[in-house]
Amino acid sequence: MKKAFTLLIGCLVCGLVVAQPVVKGHAWKQQSAGGAKPSAVAGESVNKAARTAAGSGTLHIFLEFKQAQNIVPYRIWIDGKPYRVTNDMKPGGSVIWQTEGSENDTLVAPTKNQIVLVTAVAPITRLILPALDGVSANATNEKIVVEYYWKARRYAYTIPQIKMLPTVRLQ
């Protein structure tokens, strides 16, 4: 009887532990250096460029996930603040960033996994769907947390470090 009870508890625990589909996350930030300011024409309002969610630069977030799985990122946390996202599947097994000249940076190494680019679109001012436990507290000091759906359940993946790309000079 004791063995049967132990076996039952072991099966329940193993059944509750589900491996998440996200294998690895990559975050790259490319700073931008200001160029010449547009001259103002009398009587016209000058449109100011909106700042991205990542500050004065562009944030590239890639998630690698297992083949035959389908995840849908719906929110990211940058510096403890939530942002709406758009998702773009990247074909092929790697992501290579081409810079001016002949230098290339490999942002995602060749892999058999699927790759999705997650881009911050706009800050969320009012959370309709509450954050998962510990997500907002974990998304501080150079950490990014991506919340996503997989098999109708919500999960979160923390990217511990943002790597830097060379600065882009604006015209």
- The answer to whether position 116 is within a domain reads yes
Cα–Cα distance list, 119 to 45, 79, 88, 109 (Å): 29, 15, 8, 19
Q: 61 in a domain, yes or no?
A: yes
What pLDDT band is residue 56 in, cutting at 50, 70 and 90? low
Buried b (16+ CB within 10 A) or exposed e, 24-56: ebbbbbbeeeeeeeeeeeeeeeeeeeeebbbee
- Return the higher-pLDDT residue of 10 and 160: 160
Is residue 149 in a domain? yes
Range of the domain at 83: 20-32+51-169
How many domains would you assign to the chain? 1
Beta carbons of 65 and 155 less than 8 angstroms apart: no
Question: b/e map of 106-136 (b: 16 or more CB within 10 Å)?
Answer: ebbeeeebbbbbbbbeeeeeeeeeebeeebb
In a domain, 46, yes or no: no
Q: Is residue 44 part of a domain?
A: no
pLDDT at 110: 84
What is the average per-residue pLDDT within 94-105?
69
pLDDT in tens, 4-45: 445 445 444 444 445 788 889 989 888 877 665 555 555 555
**CATH number for the domain harbouring residue 163:** 2.60.40
Nearest to 161 by CA among 29, 10, 22: 29
Indicate the SS3 state at residue 5. helix
Distance CA 65, CA 114 (A): 5
Residue at 14 is within a domain: no
The residue length of the chain stands at 171
Question: Is residue 3 assigned to a domain?
Answer: no
Kindly state whether residue 89 falls inside one of the protein's structural domains: yes
- pTM score over 0.75: no
**Which of the two residues, 16 and 57, has the higher pLDDT score?**
57
